[in-house]
Amino acid sequence: MLVGFLDAEGRAYDLTFGTLKRRLRDADGAWAFGEGEALGGETPVEAALFLQVPTAHLLLRPTNGVAAASDRRLLFLAATGAERTPEEPTRFNVAVRAPPMAVGQLFRDGGREVVEVLRDDVRGTMETRAELTLRLEAPWIGGGAQPATFLLVLRPLAAARAALAPLGLS
């Protein structure tokens, strides 16, 4: 699972703004994944991500963007116009340790918040009339050997179902 940033050139960064030395998009802007993997169309959704520590911690504030999936992964990419302020420089609800100029430059140049979920991270789904929630388990920064539990909430329900269809979860 990746919770972090995607720059305009397709390079992935974690929440500390550390480069992961991998690309999610190739030089032509196409999604860069494994052999035979094709990402479905991008579906407009709103997403929120919670880290389930003793109590739920809102990690990604409700954010408009697009979701797309293959049979191996789901990607959520925040909209380019997502509100970011000096007090909250990203849509992630975390303290940002990177220099403000670097953070601002990332977003001015077309960078966005990204959440990448591997199919193997999914432990279940829950639906309400308005939204679909994925229960996830994955390694987490500073989490040690035990995986952390996350809830990824996508809405509206119909769009979330359409975006997740390639994963074949049901």
pLDDT of residue 90: 93
Helix (H, G, I), strand (E, B) or coil at 20: strand
Query: How many domains, the chain?
Result: 1
The low-confidence residues of the chain, meaning pLDDT below 70, are: 142-143, 170
DSSP character at residue 170: -
Encode pLDDT of 18-42 as tens digits.
888 888 887 777 787 778 888 888 9
Instruction: Show the domain range for 139.
Output: 2-167
Please report, to the nearest 10 degrees, the dihedral formed by the alpha carbons of residues 50, 32, 82, 159 taken in order: -70
Q: Which two tokens stand for residue 39?
A: 């990402």
pTM: 0.92
Q: What is the mean pLDDT of the chain?
A: 90
